[in-house]
Amino acid sequence: MTVVLVALVVVVAGLVAAVAAGRVTGGLGPVTSSRPHRGLPEGPVAAADVDAVRFSLGLRGYRMDEVDAVLDRLREEIRERDEELAAWRSADDL
């Protein structure tokens, strides 16, 4: 009886370690959301557009791909506005 109990404890400990190490997954399918993702609209971005952004919740927080897409878009908009502002300032200096 003791041998069976020790073997059972070893098997359970091994399974827990495998799950913690990521070797065994739960067999879950891809993450889905019942709430629609609302990213940034096409065209110039206004402050109200950023306020309206909503991300779907994933297993451990927000969906990283949605957050990355919004941040990439904001970065490009800000870069373009900075370049335009710099061009206007240099034209005013002439």
Question: 17 lies in a domain?
Answer: no
Confidence band for 10, pLDDT divided at 50, 70 and 90: very high
Report strand pairing: 57-58 vs 61-62. antiparallel
Q: Domain range spanning residue 87? A: 33-93
pLDDT at 65: 84
Contact 48, 72 (CB under 8 A): no
Query: Domain count of the chain?
Result: 1
* DSSP assignments along 12-31, one per residue: HHHHHHHHHHTSS-------
Confidence band for 35, pLDDT divided at 50, 70 and 90: low
Give the chain's mean pLDDT: 79
pLDDT at 29: 62
Q: What are phi and psi of 58, to 5 degrees?
A: -105, -170
pLDDT digits (tens, 9 = 90+) for 53-93: 777 777 777 788 888 888 888 888 888 888 898 899 998 87
